[in-house]
Amino acid sequence: MSDLTPNTSLSNEGEQVTLGPLEEYRIESLPANAYYIPNFLTPTESSTLLSHISSHPWTTLTHRRLQPHPAPLTASGHLLTSKSLPQWLDTPIVDRLLQLTFDLTRANSENKKGIFTISPHARPNHVLINEYPPGTGISPHEDGGAYFPVVCTVSLAAHIVLEVTPKRDIYSSSSSSSSSSSSSTSTTTTATLPPGNEENGNGEETVYKIYQEPRSLLITMDEMYTSHLHGISAVSADEGLSSTTVANWNLLDDDTKKTIEEGNGTVKRETVRISLTYRDVLKVKDAGRLFGGRGFK
Ligand SMILES: O=C(O)CCC(=O)C(=O)O
Ligand SMILES: [Fe+2]
């Protein structure tokens, strides 16, 4: 943590969340830009969210379940609804996301810039909730062009390790990509390895590991969004975790680091992990006005 600003420590032992400027949470060992905020939610807020989630219907995929709010995207990546996010997904999370600023000095509130300041709707309008029982994951993918390129992921109930790899096709013309998918309008990419440091010396591809604690927030944007793939291995224990392999090690809770060290770098996935992914879908059409000639907003 930097000491750029006073009064910015984040603790919710007393059930209060105080957010510092984003720079405090930047994962410095990653390409620009990723931010990791531990204890983004209080334990009470987490329990309340989990009970709301359990009262809503799930869409079942082959290995996991998801909930799109307020509606699933169309195959072409449009949000076609007159509904906005339900209140329980909006408060307190969206309020808190909009509070996060890049302003280090906080001297001039007029100039404060936030993560959604220049996004089309100036706030997230879509949340995809994913459930990962131990042993499940999500294949490496990118989130594609349906969204403004900022992704905010809240983790609940259990830890998970997100793996991020450089997209090979930015270096190679022999790439192919194809749009999918029912769940997250993701794009899969295959190509040859790039030159330079994308191999670790053993002929293996670089994989950045981001350890996400329960109640944490991960924000990815910029090159991390546009030039990298992300995924979660379908394993029942995460292995090879250490201060050198976990990109956000310095931002983790001391108890988490202890658990990892006591397990010699292995942490079992004991329970289901739930994630809430907040994004701004670029193209929204009010379904109630579909035939009234109103354009996208
Ligand atoms: O659950 C996660 O942390 C990742 C989800 C994801 O990548 C997606 O929904 O596009
Ligand atoms: Fe994704």
How far apart are alpha carbons 247 and 27 in whole angstroms? Answer: 7
Q: Is residue 184 within 6 Å of ligand 1 at its C-beta? A: yes
How far apart are alpha carbons 85 and 233 in whole angstroms? Answer: 30
The pLDDT score that the predictor gives to residue 14 is: 63
How far apart are alpha carbons 214 and 275 in whole angstroms? Answer: 9
How far apart are alpha carbons 136 and 133 in whole angstroms? Answer: 6
203-250 per-position pLDDT tens digit: 567 799 999 999 999 999 999 999 999 999 999 999 999 999 999 999
Q: In this predicted complex, what is the ipTM?
A: 0.99
- Model confidence at 174, pLDDT cuts 50, 70, 90, reads very low
- Model confidence at 286, pLDDT cuts 50, 70, 90, reads confident
Nearest to 116 by CA among 23, 25, 219: 219
For residue 204, count other CB atoms closer than 10 A to its CB.
10
The pLDDT score that the predictor gives to residue 15 is: 77
Determine whether 20 is exposed, middle or buried from the number of CB atoms within 10 Å of its CB (0-12, 13-18, 19+): buried
Determine whether 104 is exposed, middle or buried from the number of CB atoms within 10 Å of its CB (0-12, 13-18, 19+): middle
Q: Is residue 230 within 6 Å of ligand 1 at its C-beta? A: yes
Mean pLDDT of the chain: 84
The pLDDT score that the predictor gives to residue 77 is: 95
Ligand 1 atom, smallest distance to 230 CA = 7
Ligand 1 atom, smallest distance to 160 CA = 3
Average pLDDT over residues 22-30: 96
Determine whether 294 is exposed, middle or buried from the number of CB atoms within 10 Å of its CB (0-12, 13-18, 19+): exposed
The pLDDT score that the predictor gives to residue 13 is: 56
The pLDDT score that the predictor gives to residue 197 is: 35
Compare 20 and 236 and report the one with higher pLDDT.
236
- Model confidence at 82, pLDDT cuts 50, 70, 90, reads confident
What's the 127 CA to ligand 1 centre distance in angstroms? 10
How far apart are alpha carbons 181 and 187 in whole angstroms? Answer: 8
- Spell out where the chain has E strands: 34-37, 59-60, 65-69, 79-80, 126-132, 138-141, 150-156, 160-166, 176-179, 187-190, 208-212, 217-221, 228-232, 237-238, 267-268, 273-279, 284-285
The ligand that comes nearest to the alpha carbon of residue 225 is 2
User: What residue type is assigned to position 101 of the chain?
Assistant: T
The ligand that comes nearest to the alpha carbon of residue 152 is 1
Q: Which of 65, 156, 180, 184 to mutate to test the pocket of ligand 1 (most atoms within 8 A of CB)?
A: 184
Average pLDDT over residues 102-110: 63
Question: Among all chains, which residue has been given the structure tokens 């390895």?
Answer: 193
What's the 129 CA to ligand 2 centre distance in angstroms? 11
Ligand 1 atom, smallest distance to 218 CA = 3
Ligand 2 ion local residues (Cβ < 5 A): 143
Average pLDDT over residues 36-48: 98
The ligand that comes nearest to the alpha carbon of residue 162 is 1
Is the domain defined by 22-193+201-292 classed in CATH 2.60.120.590? yes
How far apart are alpha carbons 297 and 285 in whole angstroms? Answer: 7
How far apart are alpha carbons 137 and 64 in whole angstroms? Answer: 8
